[in-house]
A and B are shown apart, each in its own frame.
Chain A
């Protein structure tokens, strides 16, 4: 089984749409939405949830007010300003346990904190692992790991695990990328698209994941597209696809049509061609310890 992560340095480049089109093209796959902070894949795949589990993503300090003698030591030692006027601010607590340690009266303890749900669903195309994080919840890197673990558990003899990766360069991205056989970076022809491509490429290089590049809506700025291609040539990054801007894609999405309809658009033709190349890279070239 091969793992392909579709990712981007910034959001909104069309990563989810590209992933959804691949879903329709691949045949025989397990899908994971590792973009746990803004999961969108479910809006396209219309999944039937078959399994739902609370996700305990963090530890959190909990106070027993009866035992508290208001000495204020917890507040003094907490480095995250998570205790103010002796009340715990859940949005700031990192669950380190220092307050528990310094409390002389045993009024504080660490508890598992439910910070989201993980779900396994059926879709027309294959099993789908996804999650929803509570607002402001921490530990999305662990949740990404959980989503990936669920997905890996679901793989039977499907040749592909397709992961809609998290954008950015922080913890969730690292968690969604590492362990992948191949990353497809979706970018767009703009100064920020180019800038973020460089940053995400830095991450893939850092973690030794082979990367390919797709320029989405490339014709919105041919000048920037060329610049991105130049950068890729210099960095030995293969540009496997250039997708034209196509309002029909948005229409298809707005109408909530099945993702295979995406392939009927002008952009879809470019995606089909790109998929052939990605498939080639994915199943021929990669040398990996995993079997």
Chain B
């Protein structure tokens, strides 16, 4: 299974970044082989609407599973419309996030969290 994770830096030792919209990278990981690719999150640089920009970019990656800390209402709406399932994980290493995901320990988020910073 390929899953996307919001990450603070570019490898499996990186911490999960709890902010979906303004995380610097998405790590797209194959949960079986642990192979991964790193994608810059354009939302990180957005003046406003970071969550929307991030969600739009995430949809283009094709994976339907996302692990993050929190997605704001705007990002949430775009992701859900795009058929993405969102799981919540604590701020731990990406390698641990993968284990949590595989063991089914992650809770799916079904409601958006607090609005992101800088709603404009």
Chain A interface residues (CB < 8 Å from chain B): 57-58, 139, 141-142, 144-145, 148-149, 171, 174-175, 178-179, 207-208, 289-291
Contacts and interface: CB of A to CB of B under 8 A. Distances in A.
Nearest to A153: B8
Contacts of B22: 145, 149
B90 A58 contact: no
15 contacts: A57-B47, A139-B120, A141-B47, A141-B119, A144-B117, A145-B118, A174-B120, A175-B119, A178-B115, A179-B116, A207-B114, A207-B115, A289-B69, A289-B113, A291-B91
Judged by DSSP, the binding face of B is loop
A291 B120 contact: no
A289 B119 contact: no
Nearest to A148: B117
Contacts, number: 50
Given A57-B47, A58-B47, A141-B48, A290 B18 contact: yes
Top 5 nearest A-B pairs (CB, nearest first) are: A145-B118, A175-B118, A141-B120, A142-B47, A171-B120
Contacts of B69: 289-290
B6 interface: no
A208 B114 CA distance: 8
B120 A175 contact: yes
Given A139-B120, A144-B118, 14 more contacts: A57-B47, A141-B47, A141-B120, A142-B47, A142-B48, A145-B117, A148-B117, A178-B115, A178-B116, A178-B119, A179-B114, A179-B116, A289-B70, A289-B113
B36 to A, nearest CB: 24
Contacts of B18: 289-290
Nearest to A138: B47
Contacts of B70: 289
A154 to B, nearest CB: 15
Contact of B117 (A178, A289, A291): A178
